[in-house]
Amino acid sequence: MPVYRYRAKNNEGQVTTGAVEAISENEVAELLGNRGLIILSLTQTKSKTGRGFNINIGRISGKDIVVFSRQFSVMISATVPVVQALRILVQQTANPLFAEKITEMVNDVDGGMKLSDSMAKHKKVFSRFYISMIKSGETSGRLEEVLEYLADQMEKDYDLVAKIKSAMIYPVFVIIGMIVVAFLMMVFVIPQMTQIIKESGAELPFLTKLLIGASDFMKNNYGYVLVGLVAALVIFRLWSRSRAGNVVWDTMKIQIPLFGPLFKKIYIVRFARSLSTLIKGGVPITTALRITSEVVDNKAYSKLIMDTVAEVEDGNSISSLFINSKLMPKMLSQMINIGERTGRVDTVLEKLSEFYSREIENLVQGMTSLIEPLILVIMGVGVGGMVAAIMLPMFKLAQAIK
């Protein structure tokens, strides 16, 4: 399908540029018209390649999906037809790339396609979890409730991630600053300070020799050091994304001291919240578990959940494998077991997700409180070690001169 690059003006007179995939110029005019744009110039370019190259620059964030779900839910609850609601959302959406995706959905739904099937064409935008919930809402006639529930749950997920990120910004910033300052000191400052010590010819303490050796190495090879660090990061990134590496890394993450318990609770919240949402949406339990195994985004937890699917299909309890697993807390297993007996698994899972969300917030606060003094101690030891390594031989040299 051809791709058209356009230059257009909006209702406020602002000029914008972009690209859109369409069959003809008429379709481009219709798509941009739905977004309230007046075409100033239009140029056809090459089609997207078969390898999935996308000419649009940018990405669709989780916040975009949250806002879309909330606005869509409000309009559906106000009895606005789906196609009309989507057309309004095209104009409301600030992200041009997302607006194009919604425009494609408008054309699909207006042509008789189900909303869930139209969303399934954009799997990089809408997760399998999201599409399954929409499909259940269409089937049960509860699309309004499903959209509202999706918006609520996605807002909780977004808020949780935002809190964790904001709490970690300061420690990460300080650690990166420490590494940069230490590197500059070792390459440019320490060599100048230790030059007189090396020229004296005096016997140097081990700590001073170690500092001078490390400084000389970094000064003479700092280019190789930087290239090596970048190469190591790239190799690690590629390895962690490979099938074998991903399994090992996901297992290691939940065993890392200090951060391991945090990762565990994050995966547990994703599991409980996603499974609760799917069950409330009327999705069959085995299908809900399969979808949750993808949403949880950890291979170790995904395997446990998929093994649970086999157990449930054999007529066993959801909690049958969780009870003996180190990945799941005993309380969660016991609460799910109670939920199964009372027929309120979805409610129990929702309560569990709220409980562990609060646990994550407390854990993050505790970690930030612990990391700050730990950083200060490390800085003190590092600076003190450097000062001692430089001052000790100078002190001995001054004594020898006397």
Q: Which two tokens stand for residue 78?
A: 């106000």
How far apart are alpha carbons 120 and 113 in whole angstroms? 11
- Which token pair is 303? 């395997």
Tens-digit pLDDT string for the chain (402 aa): 566 777 888 777 777 777 766 666 777 777 777 777 788 888 776 544 433 333 344 588 888 888 898 899 889 888 889 999 998 898 888 888 898 889 889 888 888 888 988 998 888 888 888 888 888 888 777 788 888 888 887 888 888 788 788 877 877 888 888 888 888 888 888 887 777 777 766 677 788 888 888 888 888 888 888 899 899 999 999 998 888 888 899 899 888 887 888 889 989 998 998 888 888 888 889 988 998 888 888 899 999 999 999 999 988 888 888 988 889 999 999 999 999 989 899 999 999 988 998 898 888 888 777 877 888 888 888 888 888 887 877 777 666 665
Contact 318, 285 (CB under 8 A): yes
| DSSP result, 32-52 | HHHTT-EEEEEEEEPPPPTT-
3-state secondary structure of 174: helix
Cα–Cα distance for residue pair 337/346, rounded to 1 Å: 12
* Contact call for residues 56 and 43 (beta carbons, < 8 A): no
Spatial distance between the Cα atoms of 260 and 277, rounded to a whole number of angstroms = 26
Query: pTM here?
Result: 0.69
Say what the pLDDT of residue 400 is: 63
Cβ(311)–Cβ(325) below 8 Å: no
Distance of CA 218 to the CA centre of its chain: 34
Q: Which two tokens stand for residue 330?
A: 């005993």
- Alpha carbon distance 253, 37 (integer Å): 47
**Closest to 319 (Cα-Cα) out of 298, 289, 296:** 289
* 55 neighbors 45 (Cβ within 8 angstroms): yes
The pLDDT assigned to 161 comes to: 80
What per-residue confidence (pLDDT) applies to 347? 92
d(CA 261, CA 280): 28
- DSSP structure string for 175-194: HHHHHHHHHHIIIIIHHHHH
Dist CA 213 CA 128 (whole Å): 55
The C-alpha atoms of residue 295 and residue 68 are separated, in whole angstroms, by 20
317 three-state secondary structure: coil
Backbone angles phi, psi at 392, to 5 degrees: -60, -50
3-state secondary structure of 15: strand
298-319 burial, b for 16+ CB within 10 Å, e for fewer? bbbbbebbeebbebbeeeebbb
- Euclidean distance between CA atoms 372 and 275, whole angstroms: 36
Q: How far apart are CA 73 and CA 149, in angstroms?
A: 9
Q: What are the start-end ranges of the H helices in 281-319? A: 285-295, 299-313
pLDDT of residue 1: 53
